[in-house]
Amino acid sequence: MKKIGLFGGTFDPIHNGHLHIARAFADELNLDMVVFLPAGDPYHKADVKHAAAHHRLAMAELAVADDPRFAVSDCDIIRKGATYTFDTVQIFHQQFPTARLWWLMGMDSLLQLHTWKKWQTLVRQIHIAVAARKGDNLNQAPAELHAWLGDALQNQSLKLLNAPLYDISSTSIREQIRQGHIPAESLPESVARYITDHKLYR
């Protein structure tokens, strides 16, 4: 059975933390591919603090170029209106009806899962892999998630990745750039160059 990993995010910008956890995701679960899914733009226009979807998509494409298992889809960008993971997953199910789908997220996202559209149906349709994130751990999970967490960890439809902590966030990268410093150690070189060339986040 083909195993496909899906990785949704704003990727504003995509950074080495994203790439490290996506590699661990592919390695530990032996995935055939990992599809990065940059989110569409919210209704308000992109401002200096944030980059428009076409820039975030372009940076994601540059960042995945080194790993043959990685791909980028604009599926959440071209869809009109608000996009939900639930709907994205239906699209991939139709496209790959016999594949096992895995969704990657950080621990901060897992702790919010109960707020996602149709989350209880969603978790029956996909398996979920979670990367550790500084400041967040499973003990903080809200009561709504407890019963599912217990079951999912036991039946292995939820997997906590072994990848180490990567203390990198897009928020801190945007803030550093705004103050005039591009944190090269946190970004693929091609992405750092793209940010400079397009004067993003200034």
Q: What residues make contact with ligand ATP under the rule CB under 6 A?
A: 9-12, 17-18, 21, 105-106, 108-109, 131, 133, 166, 168-171
Residue number, 10 or 157, with CB nearest to ligand ATP: 10
Residue 8: which of 121, 97, 87, 98 has the closest Cα?
87
Least distance in angstroms from the C-beta of 174 to ligand ATP: 7
Both tokens of 153, joined, read 């960890």
Residue number, 74 or 108, with CB nearest to ligand ATP: 108
Least distance in angstroms from the C-beta of 32 to ligand ATP: 21
Residue 169: which of 21, 55, 39 has the closest Cα?
21
Least distance in angstroms from the C-beta of 22 to ligand ATP: 9
Both tokens of 190, joined, read 């091609």
Q: Are 55 and 174 in contact (CB under 8 A)?
A: no
Residue number, 95 or 171, with CB nearest to ligand ATP: 171
Instruction: Using DSSP, state whether 6 is helix, strand or coil.
Output: strand
Least distance in angstroms from the C-beta of 169 to ligand ATP: 4
Q: Say how many CA atoms lie within 13 Å of 91 toward its Cβ.
A: 15
Ordered alpha helix ranges (H), 96-180: 107-110, 119-125, 143-155, 170-178
Least distance in angstroms from the C-beta of 160 to ligand ATP: 12
Both tokens of 1, joined, read 């059975």
Nearest residue to ligand ATP, by Cβ distance, number only: 106
Residue number, 10 or 190, with CB nearest to ligand ATP: 10
Residue number, 101 or 168, with CB nearest to ligand ATP: 168
